[in-house]
Amino acid sequence: MDVSESFGEMLPWLKKYQEAVIVIKVGGHAMVDPAARSSMIKDIVTLKYLGARPVIVHGGGPEIDAMMKRMGKTPKFVSGLRVTDEETLEIVRMVLVGNVSADICSLISKHGGNGVGMVGSDGDLIVARRKAPEKAVIDGKETEVDFGWVGETVRINPKILNILMENEYIPVISPIGYDAEGNCLNLNADTAAGDIAAAINARSLVSLTDVDGVMMDPSKKETLLSQLNIAQCYDLIEKGVISKGMIPKILSSISVVKSGIQSVHIINGNIPHALLQELLTDKGIGTCITKE
Q: Could you tell me the CATH number of the domain that includes residue 49? A: 3.40.1160.10
Angle of helix 246-258 relative to helix 189-199, nearest 10 degrees, comes to: 10
Cβ atoms of 72 and 145 within 8 Å: the answer is no
Lowest mean pLDDT among 34-38, 55-59, 85-89, 175-179: 34-38
What's the mean pLDDT in 60-84? Answer: 93
Which strands, in side-by-side order, build the sheet including 287-290? 115-118, 170-173, 53-58, 21-26, 204-209, 263-268, 287-290, 227-229
What's the mean pLDDT in 250-277? Answer: 92
Nearest to residue 200, comparing CAs of 158, 257, 256, 260? Answer: 158
Per-residue pLDDT for 183 more than 90?
A: yes
- CA angle 9-280-273, nearest 5°? 120
Query: 3-state class of 270 per DSSP?
Result: coil
How far apart (Å, rounded) are the C-alpha atoms in residues 75 and 61? 10
Q: Tell me the pTM.
A: 0.91
Cβ atoms of 148 and 84 within 8 Å: the answer is yes
How far apart (Å, rounded) are the C-alpha atoms in residues 155 and 175? 13
How far apart (Å, rounded) are the C-alpha atoms in residues 59 and 101? 9
Binding residues: 60-61, 82, 186
Q: Which residue has the higher pLDDT, 149 or 12?
A: 149
Per-residue pLDDT for 30 more than 90?
A: no
Residues 6+ apart with CB under 8 A from 64: 28, 75, 82, 91, 92, 95, 96
Per-residue pLDDT for 1 more than 50?
A: no
How far apart (Å, rounded) are the C-alpha atoms in residues 102 and 18? 28
Which strands, in side-by-side order, build the sheet including 184-186? 151-156, 126-130, 176-178, 184-186
Cβ atoms of 84 and 147 within 8 Å: the answer is yes
Q: Taking all residues of the chain, what is their mean pLDDT, rounded to a whole number?
A: 91
pLDDT for 15? 75
Per-residue pLDDT for 6 more than 70?
A: no
What's the mean pLDDT in 188-206? Answer: 94
pLDDT for 283? 84
- Full domain range(s) for residue 22: 3-290
pLDDT band at 7 (very low <50, low <70, confident <90, very high): low
Nearest to residue 256, comparing CAs of 218, 208, 217, 207? Answer: 207
What DSSP state is assigned to residue 206? Answer: E
Per-residue pLDDT for 85 more than 90?
A: yes
Amino acid (1-letter code) at residue 129? R
Please count the structural domains in the chain.
1
Binding residues for substrate: 60-61, 82, 186
How far apart (Å, rounded) are the C-alpha atoms in residues 275 and 269? 7
- CA angle 233-206-268, nearest 5°? 85
pLDDT for 198? 93
